[in-house]
Amino acid sequence: MKKLLGIALALVLVLGMAANASALTVAFSQIGQESDWRTANTDNVCAAIEAQGWELVYADAQQKQENQVQALRSFITQGVDYILFTGVVSSGWDEVLKEVNEAEIPLLLLDRIPDCVDEIEYAAAFGGDFVEEGRRMVRWLANYLEKEGRGDEEINIVMLEGTTGADAQVGRSEGILAELENYPNLKLVAQQTGNFTRAEGQPVMESFLKSVDKIDVLLAQNDDMALGAIDAIKAAGKVPGKDIIVIGCDSVKAAFDAIVAGDMNATIECTPLYADFVVDAINRLEAGEDLGREIIHPDEGCFDAEGGIEYAEGLVSVKAADVIDERVY
């Protein structure tokens, strides 16, 4: 009997060790490190995976689709347990994501959703509602102008767009253009990509300032480009936040600082904090749950100098200075 118990105990130990050795391996194909948003997203997701005791296989694609394709194929070869994926651009993923499906590795779509989403299998999906974010940028602007007594003025807008063909660019442009239709006095007079980076936002704004006579508003599809543009506006002898209304997207800490300093007027929130979603989704999938095909969008806000401006039905902006200390990214 004793001997049997001993064997059973040894077996439990061996099995326990085996279970530990085969702790989950979670692979993450990230786009690059183009913005404060992206850095916060990488840090947040990677730290959460490691905190669970899961093995992390991380690949930074340096903005190149071919690097992502290569990373996904190497995840398949390694036989990872889960793949987290956000695509630098929307199109061109059909083949490699079908390979992921054939390998039967559960795929979690994050952030920028590929345009083949309806043709592939995925275990869970989470990301910003980019069209709505674009709409919110324009609604905030229209209501702000109204409050300033400029509601009927002819307003010239320039737009810094994100990486061409990225879901976040396509969606925000679509939302901005659709919402502008509701305000005939708001005119989009120039638009160009700044690739979601501060480094490119600056020279593109510089060229807008040279080529466009009257610029009243800058809509930047992320805060980093807005911050680069603010430098260009100052260098041109204009006052950002006053001569030119500056609106960004993401709500990173640096944008809060710029709003408090008076250089920037508003930022529409797009959270990079995906850790809770990722950990919860994997744990539920491990427990055998089916999470369905819904693409989950987080609740997001809008921050500006004074607060109280409506940016979506029934939602008003929050004064950045009041919450700056609580910002975690």
Interface contacts to ligand GYE, rule CB under 6 A = 34-35, 37-38, 111-112, 128, 168, 196, 222, 224, 249-250, 270
Residue 49 CB, shortest distance to ligand GYE, in Å, is 19
Structure letter (DSSP) for residue 163:
S
CB nearer ligand GYE, residue 111 or residue 310: 111
CB nearer ligand GYE, residue 161 or residue 224: 224
Residue 232 CB, shortest distance to ligand GYE, in Å, is 18
Report long-range pairs for 309-313 (Cβ below 8 Å, ≥24 apart). Answer: 309/140, 309/143, 309/144, 309/147, 309/266, 310/139, 310/140, 310/143, 311/136, 311/139, 311/140, 311/143, 311/266, 311/268, 312/132, 312/135, 312/136, 312/139
Torsion of CA 315, 320, 325, 326, to 10 degrees: 20
Residue 314 CB, shortest distance to ligand GYE, in Å, is 24
Q: Kindly tell me the burial class for residue 117, based on how many C-beta atoms sit within 10 Å of its own C-beta (0-12, 13-18, 19 or more).
A: middle
CB nearer ligand GYE, residue 58 or residue 183: 58
Residue 151 CB, shortest distance to ligand GYE, in Å, is 29
CB nearer ligand GYE, residue 134 or residue 216: 134
CB nearer ligand GYE, residue 151 or residue 298: 298
Residue 272 CB, shortest distance to ligand GYE, in Å, is 7
Handedness of CA 2, 8, 10, 12 (dihedral sign): negative
